[in-house]
Amino acid sequence: MTDATNAYAAGVDIEAADRAIDLMKEWVEKARRPEMLGGLGGFAGLFDASALTKYKRPLLATSTDGVGTKVAIAQKMDVHDTIGHDLVGMVVDDLVVCGAEPLFMTDYIATGKVVPERIAAIVKGIAEACALAGTALIGGETAEHPGLLHPDEYDVAGATTGVVEADELLGADRVRAGDVVIAMEASGLHSNGYSLVRHVLLNTAKWELDRHVDELGTTLGEELLVPTRIYAKACLDLAKRTETHAMSHVTGGGLAANLERVMPKTMTAVIDRATWTPQPIFDLVRQVGSVPQPDLEATLNQGVGMVSLTAPSDVDAAIAGLAEFGIRAWVAGEVREAAGDAEAGRVRLEGQHPGW
């Protein structure tokens, strides 16, 4: 969103900012919660905190992120209504891994020139994704930076705040030997590793974004803009319905490194690659760029966007519950007692993906 009264720098088009506000109002209204007060144009977003009185010991959680160089693909294709899904996915799904419900979000859009229709399209994607995550879009800012950014360039960032009951906080201290690693399918690349993907497919192979790729069943550009899957509601439901001890959002660094962030030092996790086949885009990057598998796994999500560490007795219920939200999930590995320092808190990938 934007507060046009802040767009006072030399060369800034205040009239365009005002028009952008008018165009985005419809979409922002779709991302409300009952606790949200007021509307566009204020200096701060307001959220009725009396909703927290139902908690015995509420812990506030916060997360902030952007979408990295994926914005370069959106700009090159002149498609701007999906990048907001990526932004929301990056921040709310970082939040829910500790069991926190995302309550509200704010966004920040920096651009070389405010084009109202483009800004409105970005906010449309943000608002639609907030609705999917159950979070309110309560404020934001659009900043015009002529001279710093080219007229068609922009970047987006966002922050979200949520709440979790203290004794329901998920994390490494709850993880037990025997916990099952449940993998949740990604929609594609999500929003990480685009520097590698762009280097391999666009810069080195010289592929154009409008190139139809048979392995993908679509154009390269359309595949690269597939929005990040939002797991928030599904993961919150998982935490309530099952004995899930920890979750990990698979973003930059890949599956093993992100799961290690919630592993206790006395445990190790073993994941079997044979339990899934990554989507074709991952194998395409591997083969076209001759990228070694360890490098892929340290950069891309390899088709797994979120994982949970769940008690074995609740695995079937967990997979069935995730399916109700349209998320395919499977057993990918298990947690074991670490046998020495080399395994302490570490995650090991073994086996191979079918067809690789």
Task: Show the tokens assigned to 335.
Answer: 């947690």
Please tell me the predicted confidence (pLDDT) of residue 138: 87
Cα separation, 324 vs 1, in Å, equals: 32
For the chain, which domains are there? 13-41+55-165 (3.30.1330.10), 172-350 (3.90.650.10)
Digitized pLDDT (tens) for each residue of the chain, 356 residues in all: 444 334 333 445 666 656 656 656 665 666 666 666 666 656 677 777 888 999 999 999 999 999 999 999 999 999 999 999 999 999 999 999 999 999 999 999 999 999 989 998 999 999 999 999 999 998 888 889 998 999 999 999 999 999 999 999 999 999 999 999 999 999 999 999 999 999 999 999 999 999 999 999 999 999 999 999 999 999 999 999 999 999 999 999 999 999 999 999 999 999 999 999 999 999 999 999 999 999 999 999 999 999 999 999 999 999 999 999 999 999 999 999 999 999 999 999 999 999 99
CB-based contact 3:141 (threshold 8 Å): yes
**Residues facing residue 192 across a β-bridge:** none
Cα separation, 116 vs 24, in Å, equals: 9
Please tell me the predicted confidence (pLDDT) of residue 47: 75
CB-based contact 41:140 (threshold 8 Å): no
pTM reported for the whole predicted model: 0.90
Please tell me the predicted confidence (pLDDT) of residue 33: 65
Please tell me the predicted confidence (pLDDT) of residue 188: 97
Distance from the Cα of residue 236 to its chain's centroid: 15
Please tell me the predicted confidence (pLDDT) of residue 121: 94
